[in-house]
Amino acid sequence: MSQLKNDRYLRALLKQPVDMTPVWMMRQAGRYLPEYREVRAQAGDFMSLCKNPELACEVTLQPLRRFELDAAILFSDILTIPDAMGLGLYFETGEGPRFKKPVTSKADVEALPLFDPEQELGYVMDAVRTIRKNLQGAVPLIGFSGSPWTLATYMVEGGSSKAFTKIKKMAFAEPQTLHLLLDKLADSVTSYLNAQIAAGAQSVMIFDTWGGVLSPRDYELFSLQYMAKIVDGLTREADGRKVPVTLFTKNGGMWLEKIAATGCDAVGLDWTINIADAKARVGDKVALQGNMDPSMLYAPPARIEEEVQTILAGFGQGSGHVFNLGHGIHPDVPPEHAKVFVDAIHRYSQQYHK
């Protein structure tokens, strides 16, 4: 078993005792750091950065040099899977991701190839191996994927969407086509995450960014059941240690009990739910990750510290809390505010772990 100098993030996910509440930030390797922008410019564009294991490793490690974070997260994108399926991913400046060949019919779904993650997405596995080597056991490495529903929204819409009319039209007018697509994606995500674990990821997270746009019944039907299928298929032990899995549905607070019942180890929370309520509902079943509003990092340092203390007090005594933002850090947040956030968590959380 490889020794970790700091394993409090993994311990908290498994609800084991820790000395203080661990913290990492969604999108911690990214656009708010000037050194990230330099490397991205050097790479040429975002996907070239993702596909270069050395540069992906460099930007993964950058935030760890600035802040006392308790985990590193692989630098990649959730849309690597549809890209590997041949949809022709590209990024429009100011528009976000686009696909040259969106999925519009049952024939399109049937034509999607199942891929070998070590081949078509070998660059991701090379990045995982490179990062693990360079971390030298300092903190654990998180691997991740988008959820089948979230990936499907991009693939069917052809990019980002506000109203999700195309994917919902498929869901309600041709549900069997969408289920075929989601099933294929669930298999692909399972093999992709298992390949990341085999390459060295010590914990994995599934981002269901768009699950919250569904009705409760449709959420279970089109999103949750496919995440549950993935959880069932994941490698849950590697390197002599458990590999915890976190599920995060943005705007999914009303479905916490159902998410917790999938067999995952932790449930990610956005900022629209009170962490004390979340703990009362599912805290004996799973760990919780979250959940400060990322925009709070615009506030003066004293206000950031106050918010951190409020959330820590809301969770209260004991392990099972990984502190995070409720979504990704915004690109125009001052890095020194991120430092205030991280340091405050470590400082104020120790009293809850006596």
**Residues with active-site annotation:** 27, 31, 40, 77, 154
**263 among annotated binding-site residues:** no
**77 among annotated binding-site residues:** yes
**37 among annotated binding-site residues:** no
**179 among annotated binding-site residues:** no
Residue 97: beta bridge partners?
A: 91
User: Could you give the CA distance from residue 31 to residue 40 in angstroms, rounded to a whole number?
Assistant: 9
- 281 alpha carbon, distance to own chain's centre: 22
**209 among annotated binding-site residues:** yes
What HEC string does 179-235 produce? HHHHHHHHHHHHHHHHHHHHHCCCEEEEEECCHHHCCHHHHHHHHHHHHHHHHHHCC
**225 among annotated binding-site residues:** no
**327 among annotated binding-site residues:** yes
Neighbours of 129 (CB within 10 A): 15
Nearest in space to 67 (alpha carbons), one of 35, 23, 106: 23
DSSP codes joined into one string, 122-140: HHHHHHHHHHHHHHTTSS-
Residue 27 DSSP SS3: coil
Binding residues are 27-31, 77, 154, 209, 327
Q: Which residues are annotated as a binding site for substrate?
A: 27-31, 77, 154, 209, 327
